[in-house]
Amino acid sequence: MREAYLVGAGQTAYGAFPNESYRSLFRTAFEAATNSVPKGLEAAEIDEAFVGTLGVGGRQLGLSGPAVTEHVGLDGIPCTRVENACAASGFAVRQAVQAVKSGMADVVLAGGFEVMSDTSSDATKYWLGVSGETEWERLSGTTFSGVYAQMASVHMETYGTTREQLSRVAVKNHANGSKNPHAQLGFECSLEDAQSAPVVADPLTLYHCCPTSDGAACALVVSEDVVDEYTDEPIRVAGVGAGSDDVGLFQRDTYAGVPASQRAAEQAYEMAGIGPNEVDVAEVHDCFAIAELLAYEDLGFCEKGKAGGFIESGATELDGTVPVNTSGGLKSKGHPIGATGAGQVVEAFKQLSGTAGDRQVDAPVYGLTHNVGGSGGAAVVHIFERETAVSAR
């Protein structure tokens, strides 16, 4: 198979944008992505597109995949809409990589979008809910936050994880998000803020939960045959892994981990030929604070049950051994469901190309993204490798 390379990536700000449509949001992300390609890239050069969305709000009903690609000038190219709950555009990126590696295409767009601010809070809860098991969890009254609260409770009871450790995730990610102009909740919060906030689903407080968001993100993946036309500083897609699991939490053998993430990570590390200790920067799926702690363990950044101590050690801070969620993560940057996975790739691109501004990590070589669907029914992991030294910016 051919090598695949990430040559550009861009996103909108995340937030509530009542004057925007899903088409206009996607255009903004698309233009940001094409403008980020060092040597430039035109719409006419794109062979295929994969677009992720759950289709939450009323403003994006219909054949939304071709609607957004047509809107940005990609007339007539194959476009596939990918729906895998919160992992929709993470899997869209995987599909783009597969298209390039297989030889089916040389230049592929992977993106995602979501409009979540045009429905009531009850309707939004419904759409979030159907990302998980519907018949036995959602229809019996369990909310999305309630499912992750169960996971948090089990981890706390089994391993001694504390609410303070959960809160440290929020503090770190808000600190990073305050340095990100695209973040929806781009402000810092204190440990006291996070711990004393209203309880959403015990033990999770408001600051342990990500917001709902409007937004879009795009990434551009090209083959080894054409990469030199677009950049002199290639970022290789070194590893890709994906996994699935029982959709319902009650169906699984463990509440204190996400087996789909573990499977995806194992595949990605094997393909990349590296181990967790070689990852320099990571974007992980922190829809709730406990999800980030679980990701530390599932991705091999620390031993099972040690995530609480790992966050306390400072290892995942911007200057730590493995900075995690330098963008602010879902917690601070926001979570427009269909755009989240591609948005993580945007941050990996910025970090590896040395353009992350005040949140830039020192000389990263390997960047990892981890995108989860539902409460762990699906997961996808990408590992990106910077092959040349980053030019001074």
75-107 pLDDT, tens digit each = 899 999 999 999 999 999 999 999 999 999 999
Check if 382 is active-site. no
- In angstroms, the CA 92 to CA 52 distance is 6
Closest by Cα among 111, 135, 324, 107 to 230 = 107
What pLDDT is attached to residue 389?
65
What pLDDT is attached to residue 392?
43
Query: Over the chain, what is the mean pLDDT?
Result: 94
- pLDDT at residue 8 is higher than 90: yes
**C-beta separation of 346 from 112 below 8 A:** no
- pLDDT at residue 296 is higher than 50: yes
Burial of 243 (0-12, 13-18, 19+ CB in 10 A): buried
Residue 164, both tokens: 């303070």
What pLDDT is attached to residue 388?
80
DSSP string, 12-81: ---B--TT--HHHHHHHHHHHHHHHSTT---GGG--EEEEE----SGGG-SSHHHHHHHHTT-TTS-EEE
Q: pTM of the predicted model, to two decimals?
A: 0.96
- In angstroms, the CA 133 to CA 116 distance is 20
Beta bridge partners of 345: none
215-260 pLDDT, tens digit each = 999 999 999 999 999 999 999 999 999 999 998 888 888 999 999 9
- pLDDT at residue 62 is higher than 90: no
- In angstroms, the CA 10 to CA 30 distance is 7
* Active-site residue (options: 86, 189, 287, 302): 86
Residue with tokens 């040559």: 7
Q: Are strands 48-52 and 107-114 parallel, antiparallel or unpaired?
A: parallel
Residue spans of beta strands (DSSP E) within the chain: 4-11, 48-52, 79-82, 107-114, 199-201, 204-205, 215-223, 235-244, 281-283, 366-373, 378-386
CATH architecture of structural domain 4-119+211-386: 3-Layer(aba) Sandwich (3.40)
* Active-site residue (options: 155, 182, 208, 335): 335
Check if 335 is active-site. yes
354-365 pLDDT, tens digit each = 999 999 999 999
C-alpha count within 13 angstroms, C-beta hemisphere, residue 306 = 10
